[in-house]
Amino acid sequence: MPSSPASPAPPVAEVIASSTREILAEVYPDAEVPAFGSWIEVETEGIDGRGGAVLYGLVSHAETGSVEPGRQAVALGADYDRDRLRREMPQLLELIRTTVRAQVLAYWDGQSQREGRPHVRQTLPPRPAALHDRVRPCAPEAVAAIAAPFDVLRTLARSPDPAVPADDLIAAALRGLYKSHGEGPDGEAVLVAAGRALARLMDDDHERLQSILRRVE
């Protein structure tokens, strides 16, 4: 398998539902919940059992609630903090789960290379992730590969998740792109290029564009 952009980080969640457009994953109890607007990846298995694709998604929603459908948690009172809850009522924590939803925006097919680097395609994958595939936070190198012409921004602007404020998610995606390039001159150059791409997508709606860019700072 060619050099992969897949993250060496340990998995933080597991796929419990998926489509070519989105991933729903349950976060492991002791893992850090992926932040809104952060990039996650899922390395899938190929049809022949060998390496498959790496799917990239932008976290658009996180939710914590009861494991049992229709059963809502109740307040325990001001005397309880999380440490005391772990000591005295650990069984309650077993009834709580956190899930994250991510909009799939790009993938690497496991083979394609460009200039000696994996070529990440900014489009929907041909197949969804499988149930119980592991979810990892993206390595900065993988996020940095999502560059001009920024087709992922077109998807976010023109085909957003209807349950998510699109502009907030775009702003978070821009922050991720900036940080992946080191938050220096390289990051600023990428941010300028992405801003220009957004201006074209938004039909020169400068007020909306400025609103998004203000949230990046």
Global confidence as pTM: 0.85
pLDDT tens column, 169-212: 999 999 988 888 887 888 889 888 988 888 888 877 788 888 99
68: CB partners within 8 A, 6+ apart: 95
CB atoms inside a 10 Å sphere around CB 39:
28
138: CB partners within 8 A, 6+ apart: 7, 38, 39, 40, 41, 56
pLDDT tens column, 131-155: 999 999 998 888 888 877 889 999 9
Integer CA distances (angstroms), 212 to 17, 28, 54, 131, in order = 31, 32, 29, 35
